[in-house]
Amino acid sequence: MAKSNNYIIDMKTGFYNRRFFNLRLREERLRTERSGSPFSVLTLNISGLGNLIQKQPKLKIHQMKKVITTVFRENTRDIDIKNWHDDTTLKILMPETPKSGAATLAEKLQEKIDDAFKTFFGLMGAFDLKTHMKITSYPETMEDSGKPKSKRPAAKKSMASPPIRWGNKRVSRSPKRIKGRSK
């Protein structure tokens, strides 16, 4: 059966596909530029699990990936866009979430992953998410000043009203300047 590009959700994981994730990321960046409201992206790289599997051959990467997927699905909001970007990279786009909110989620996920790995694989603290996780927030702010680090300058707004069409002529919105109207 051929894989269709029309699906936005991966049937195995229940997460969105890469194309949809990138579309939503672009939309969030545009929304942030307009409104200044924050969003965060949490990126987890699980390539470090390969070292863990070499030490314990009975472990399978797909089993661990399935546990991570389940923990992330159960502990994130429905509005968060979750995506396995490739075989080893999981990304979560969190609208309306500042970096502090993403950091709180990362701590919660660390606890849940530790519990799940202990329950399913008998591993205690085997995979440290913090060393494999990156949080990026937009708009990016400077640590010391709280002012935006790189924000586009606001567009100048013209105080004049834009012209309107009167018939097939372009005229001003001012009633005294409209031709053909009596006072």
Domain ranges, ordered by start, for the chain: 18-138
Q: What is the Cα–Cα distance from 102 to 115, expressed in whole angstroms?
A: 20
- SS3 for 39? strand
- SS3 for 170? strand
Compute the 3-state secondary structure of the chain and give helix, strand, coil in percent, each to the nearest 5.
Answer: 40, 20, 45
Stretch 3-26: mean pLDDT, rounded? Answer: 85
Stretch 92-120: mean pLDDT, rounded? Answer: 92
Model confidence pTM above 0.85: no
How many other C-beta atoms are found inside a 10 Å radius of the C-beta of residue 164? 11
Q: What is the 3-state secondary structure (H, E, C) of 42-62?
A: EEEECCCHHHHHHHCCCCCHH
Q: For the packed helices 99-121 and 61-74, what is the interaxial angle rounded to 10 degrees?
A: 130
Q: What is the Cα–Cα distance from 74 to 122, expressed in whole angstroms?
A: 21
CATH fourth-level superfamily of 18-138: Reverse transcriptase/Diguanylate cyclase domain (3.30.70.270)
pLDDT band at 182, cuts 50/70/90? Answer: low
Stretch 131-158: mean pLDDT, rounded? Answer: 60
